[in-house]
Amino acid sequence: MPPRFFVFSFSSDISFNNLTGKIPPSLSELVLTDYIFLMENKLTGPMPGWVLSSTKNVDVSYNHFTWDRVSAPKKCEQDPTNVVESYSSITNEQSNIHPCLRKDFPCTKSYEQQICSLYINCGDYDVTVNNTNYEGDTERKGPSSYYNAGNWAFSSTGAFVYDIRYPNTYILSNTSNLNNISTVNTALYTKARTAANSLTYYGLCLMNGHYTVRLHFAEIVFTEYSPRKRVFDVYVQNFTVELHDGLSRQRSS
């Protein structure tokens, strides 16, 4: 990374840039910046102490930091800092590192504690649809957050700093007519979790095997009077997948 940064904005987002090296001290001196996003780079070295002590929203997830007993975090719940999967897989053999900090988030539970199915109602409360119980997801987290619900977790990055309609709102409610959706399934489309940069859900300790991933999509924000086109990728276990009638098939390992 360059040694100095000059940013005149509330948000400094340099994620997904293959940046290498250590985080320079100059980043901690950005007085006018409330959000610093460094996720999905190749940053190395010990994690600077100011990252964990900062009152700003800082996201350093998905990097390759070197484990240091003194400065390293002991857990992933470090609001307002997101550190999930921030340490290199080389450190996976060190048992004192929390699994959520390691690359690929390995499972440390016994076989008896692992699960073989998971249903989440993203952004809304518990609901039962077609005899299937969907776990609620109502945690009010957003810009640089990691949340662990037990059997699943999510990592959220990005701030809606220039969106005057939904300023830093990470759970949106339906404002559109839901066409071609059965009444039974309506509860799954009432609300949704959103993120400005990246949103990752984790199924924690799923047993190895073949799984069918069903994703429910509906436009619940833009009305028919302001049509938009959504363009996004879906990744399952770090691989881009093609969707076929809402189904994605991927082996868990």
My answer on whether 74 and 126 are in the same domain is: no
My answer on whether 147 and 243 are in the same domain is: yes
My answer on whether 21 and 94 are in the same domain is: yes
pLDDT tens-place string over residues 137-174: 999 887 899 999 999 999 999 988 766 555 567 898 88
My answer on whether 89 and 124 are in the same domain is: no
Contact 43, 69 (CB under 8 A): no
At 19, the pLDDT band (50, 70, 90 cuts) reads: very high
pLDDT for 41: 94
My answer on whether 19 and 139 are in the same domain is: no
- Least confidently predicted of 38-47, 70-79, 87-96, 111-120: 87-96
My answer on whether 97 and 131 are in the same domain is: no
My answer on whether 94 and 145 are in the same domain is: no
pLDDT for 215: 84
Q: Which residue has the higher pLDDT, 2 or 6?
A: 2
Final residue belonging to a domain, choices 44, 69, 101: 101
Q: What is the mean pLDDT of residues 103-112?
A: 88
Q: What is the mean pLDDT of residues 44-51?
A: 92
Distance CA 161, CA 138 (A): 21
Final residue belonging to a domain, choices 45, 72, 101: 101
Range of the domain at 30: 11-101
Final residue belonging to a domain, choices 35, 66, 101: 101
My answer on whether 215 and 133 are in the same domain is: yes
For residue 36, the cross-strand partners are 12, 58
Q: Is the pLDDT of residue 225 over 60?
A: no
Contact 250, 237 (CB under 8 A): yes
Q: pTM for this one?
A: 0.85
My answer on whether 234 and 125 are in the same domain is: yes
- Least confidently predicted of 3-12, 186-195, 226-235: 3-12
Q: Which helix (H) or strand (E) holds 50?
A: helix 49-53
My answer on whether 164 and 206 are in the same domain is: yes
